[in-house]
Amino acid sequence: MENKDTKVITVGVYPQGGAEECESSLKELERLVETAGGKVYATLTQLKNTPEASTYIGEGKLKELAEVCKNNQIDMVVFDCELTPAQIKNIENTTEVDVIDRSMLILDIFALHAVSAEGKIQVELAQLKYTAPRLMGKGKDMSRLGGGIGTRGPGESKLEIDRRRLASRIAFLRHELEELEKNRLLTRTQRDKSGIVKACIAGYTNAGKSTLLNLLTGAGILAEDKLFATLDPTTRKFELPSGIKMLITDTVGFIKKLPHHLVHAFKSTLEETVYCDFLIIVVDASDDECIEHMAVTDSILESLGANNKPKLYVFNKADLTTNERLYDLRLIKGRESRVVTLCAKSGEGLDELTEQLEQLCRNGKTNEVFLFPYAEQGQMNILYKSSEIKSTKYVEEGVLVEACVDEKTKGILRKYLR
């Protein structure tokens, strides 16, 4: 990967009492920088209740930043917030190095990891809308930009930022995306008609979502210790020990400070979380920040309109944490949702997980055997209309039917239960 040695300074501003949160956010930003191929040389923070309108950080801090950049041959400054095009331009004028913000960095990583046509178009569109105006403000020779952190396009292409072509490129990509969305809708409708239960794996980035789908289905998805390793949704069929078949989808991970417009840009893939029967929320239980990660996950699901689905919390990476902590986490979520503990890497805890999946798929349904005397065969229609029939046998006393039924049907047909 090019720019392996891009020397980066990260900058965070925090309000009174926000030092701890700022520190953890900067730690995450450092991982993002590494994933994009850079190395954090130093980190600058400033306590400031309201950011400066023109330069975000204060004048003195900006001078200090310029000084550090100059003395240490720094290539790039990454701000842990959203900057306006004007702020970027002003900061660059003083520091004389490239400046990008958290969202540009995230989009850069998305650009590196996008594989499908839909994924690539979504990334490029978001970049043209968010990154391009911020690069244009720089007033530099645009042809020299592209290819570095924050300016990479999806795949091999560099982000095109020619002002004249911008609008027509956006219109073209929008149209392409609409076509692909139509296809996605069609596949979704076909899946809905099949009546098969659908689950979606969601959760914070790097929690182990892809590892879980690989464990269950041998999906062969790339799972690595990087943020946003997965961008494209993958759906696989999984057969539970009882024979029930279900579809499970692995999606892009969530992260804090994911701007609303980014969520919107990836709506068509994130919407997989809306069109499912229940959610499997994977949590890296070994991460000190995992409670906050769950809150971030909830709020993104909320904005997608998917937070009311039944949830199964999978507290993953059990091998890296203590039993006490796992117990506490289960207690926190156990009141409102189903919870399991898992080590997706080794498969430990898989039985408990499949048992919970089994129950969620059944949605309170149970396997029952009914005997309908030949004179009352008409009652069998109730079963045929509402339930999955496992087997039908004609015996001397009548028709023996095994079916997977919900509570209501079971109540109506109680007198035929064997």
Ligand X SMILES: Nc1nc2c(ncn2[C@@H]2O[C@H](COP(=O)(O)OP(=O)(O)OP(=O)(O)O)[C@@H](O)[C@H]2O)c(=O)[nH]1
Q: Are strands 366-373 and 398-405 parallel, antiparallel or unpaired?
A: antiparallel
Residue with the shortest CB distance to Mg ion: 230
Closest residue to ligand X in the complex (CB): 253
Evaluated on CA atoms 181, 186, 192, 196, the torsion sign reads negative
235 is a site residue for ligand X (CB under 6 A):
no
The count of C-alpha atoms lying within 13 angstroms of the C-alpha of 241, restricted to the half-sphere facing its C-beta, is 10
CB 280 within 8 A of CB 199: yes
Residue 180 pairs with which residues in a beta bridge?
none
Q: Is 235 in the site for Mg ion (CB under 5 A)?
A: no
How many Å apart are CA 229 and CA 251, to the nearest integer? 10
Q: Which residues pair with 339 in a beta bridge?
A: 313
User: Would you say 61 or 226 has its CB closer to ligand X?
Assistant: 226
Q: What are the residues facing 38 on neighbouring strands?
A: 6
Nearest to ligand X of 76, 227 (CB atom): 227
* Terminal-residue alpha carbon distance, the chain: 66
Q: For residue 230, state whether it binds Mg ion (rule: CB under 5 A).
A: yes
- Asked whether position 197 contacts Mg ion by CB under 5 A, the answer is no
Q: Which stretch binds Mg ion (CB under 5 A): 205-213, 267-275, 287-295, 367-375?
A: 205-213
Mark the segment that binds Mg ion (CB under 5 A) among 210-218, 238-246, 299-307, 356-364. Answer: 210-218
By CB under 6 A, which span of 50-58, 76-84, 166-174, 311-319 interacts with ligand X? 311-319
**Counting contacts by CB under 5 A, is residue 229 touching Mg ion?**
yes
H or E, element range at 283: strand 278-284
Report the residue number, 284 or 368, with the smaller CB distance to Mg ion.
Answer: 284
Neighbours of 119 (CB within 10 A): 24
Residue pair 220/214 in contact (Cβ under 8 Å)? The answer is: yes
DSSP state letter for 272 = G
Of 65, 83, 229, 361, which one interacts with ligand X (CB under 6 A)?
229
Concatenate the DSSP letters of all residues of 112-144 into one string.
HH--SHHHHHHHHHHHHHHHHHHHHTT-S-GGG
Say whether residue 106 binds ligand X (CB under 6 A): no
**Cβ nearer to ligand X, comparing 229 with 290:** 229
Nearer to Mg ion, 45 or 286 (CB): 286
Q: Is 233 in the site for ligand X (CB under 6 A)?
A: no
Instruction: Describe the crossing of helices 19-35 and 102-113 by its angle, rounded to 10 degrees.
Output: 30
**Among 132, 207, 276, 304, which residue interacts with ligand X (rule: CB under 6 A)?**
207
Give the total residue count for the chain.
418
The neighbour count for residue 11, using CB atoms within 10 Å, is 25
DSSP 275: S
> Which among 48-56, 104-112, 229-237, 303-311 is the span making contact with Mg ion, rule CB under 5 A?
229-237
313 binds ligand X (CB under 6 A): no
Count the Cβ atoms, other than its own, within 10 Å of residue 22: 18
By CB under 6 A, tell whether 341 contacts ligand X: no
State how far the Cα of 271 lies from the Cα of 231, in Å rounded to an integer.
13
Residue 227 engages ligand X in binding (rule: CB under 6 A): yes
Stretch that binds ligand X, among 150-158, 199-207, 261-269, 327-335 (CB under 6 A): 199-207
Tell me the two tokens of residue 4.
């392996």
Q: Which of 131, 151, 205, 409 binds ligand X (CB under 6 A)?
A: 205
Q: Please report how close the Cβ of residue 105 comes to ligand X at its closest, in angstroms.
A: 15
223 is a contact residue toward ligand X (CB under 6 A): yes
Number of CB atoms found within 10 A of residue 198's CB: 19
The answer to the question of residue 344 lying near ligand X (CB under 6 A) is yes
Q: Write the binding mask 251 to 280 for ligand X: x where contact by CB under 6 A, - elsewhere.
A: --x---------------------------
- 113 backbone dihedrals φ, ψ, rounded to 5°: -100, -5
Q: Is 297 in the site for ligand X (CB under 6 A)?
A: no
Contact partner, 345, from ligand X, Mg ion, none, Cβ < 5-8 Å per class: ligand X
Q: What does 211 interact with, of Mg ion, ligand X, none (CB < 5 to 8 A by kind)?
A: ligand X
Among 25, 103, 210, 409, binds Mg ion (CB under 5 A): 210
Q: Which does 3 bind (CB under 5 to 8 A by kind): ligand X, Mg ion, none?
A: none
CA–CA separation, 364 vs 382, rounded Å? 18
293 binds ligand X (CB under 6 A): no
Q: Which helix (H) or strand (E) holds 382?
A: helix 380-386
* Residues near ligand X (CB under 6 A): 205-211, 223-230, 253, 316-317, 319-320, 343-345
* Residues near Mg ion (CB under 5 A): 209-210, 229-230
